[in-house]
Amino acid sequence: MKMIRFARAAAVVVLAVSAAACGRRKAAAPSHEPAEVRRETIEVLVESTGVVRPRNRLEIKPPFGGRIEEVMVEEGAAVKTGDILARMSSTERAALLDAARAKDEATLRKWEDAYKPTMLIAPLDGTIIARNREPGQTVTTQDAILIMSDRLVVVAQVDETDIGRVKEGQTALIGLDAHPDTAVRGTVRRIAFDARTINNVTVYEVEVEPDKVPDCMKSGMTASVSFRVTRVEEAVTVPAGAVFVEDGRSLVLTDDGDPRTPPARVRVLTGISARGRTEILAGLDGSETVVREAFRMPERKPETGSPFLPSRKK
């Protein structure tokens, strides 16, 4: 009887050890999850920030000191070359008219007709972005009565590590922090030859001209700029994590749907990568089922005892 009991106990131990070993092998077997294959437009962008500025910022200053008689335009007004922006009197004319005004209306009209005011003319087509003086104020030749710009542009700061991928004529997308729902297409018009250092980072100024300036775009606004480096239409793409390198070759795992067979390694030729997706140039036609190893957090053994007491050595 003792021998029979001992044999049964030994069999139970063997079965338990075998079950534990099978459990370990089953846990060690890698599991896979699907990696979506799709055809889409993929593009590589260089991201930057910038500021909306006038391309040509012109200060309209008087040719002599005097007094402003009339300002004809408001901020935001579009003007053409030759438009009258303001009228002003020289110091002598202002003194003469004040003396005539003290007498009577007839004398005032006489000197106003004989001594015409000076006109301030728009030197080019553009927009009034600042009105600094009002009628009745005295000015000198150093005072800017009005400020105008011919066209608003975005001046972006591009890091030196990315400037090599930005070219004149390149397409860019402009976003305004003040109007997050507004997106403006633009074109790179100028790249600075001289670098600047901002917060110990070397950057180059890149001027981007909007294809069309929206009414909400104002000088001084902060903008985000995305320069389009490469764009591919109808590209076959997979998640970047589904591509792995083995012996210098790029591979993906494909599943034939049979649970009895492991995923097959397929060699692929990759193209550009952007926003977590990788372009597949050869090796896949888009109809395959691609999988990748699922990530699992390692299991931790439950701790026993009080966390405030030191652990005992075994």
Phi and psi at 128, nearest 5°, equal: -75, 120
Q: Where are the domains of the chain?
A: 45-54+151-232, 57-149
- Cut 0.75: pTM above it: no
Instruction: Tell me whether domains 45-54+151-232 and 57-149 share a fold.
Output: no
Tokens of 157: 């700061």
Please report, in tens digits, the pLDDT of each residue of the chain (314 residues total): 444 454 454 444 444 444 444 444 444 456 889 999 999 999 999 999 999 999 888 999 999 999 999 999 999 899 999 999 999 999 999 999 999 999 999 999 999 999 999 999 999 999 998 999 999 999 999 999 999 988 899 999 999 999 999 999 999 999 999 999 999 999 999 999 999 998 899 999 999 999 998 989 988 999 999 999 999 999 999 999 999 999 999 999 999 888 888 999 999 999 999 889 999 999 999 899 999 988 666 666 666 555 555 655 55
pLDDT on residue 71: 96
Cα–Cα distance, 59 to 149 (Å, whole number):
9
Q: Which DSSP state fits 169?
A: T
Instruction: Tell me what pLDDT residue 310 has.
Output: 60
pLDDT of residue 201: 92
Reading the block at residue 265, the tokens are 């390694």
Q: Which has the closest alpha carbon to 60: 138, 148, 151, 127?
A: 148
CATH superfamily of 45-54+151-232: Efflux pump adaptor protein, beta barrel domain (2.40.30.170)
Q: Which CA distances in Å does 54 have to 101, 203, 221?
A: 42, 20, 11
For residue 155 the two structure tokens come to 């001046």
- Identify the CATH class of 57-149: mainly beta
What's residue 308's pLDDT? 59
CA 161, 164, 166, 168 dihedral sign is: positive
Count of CB atoms situated within 10 Å of the CB of 138: 14
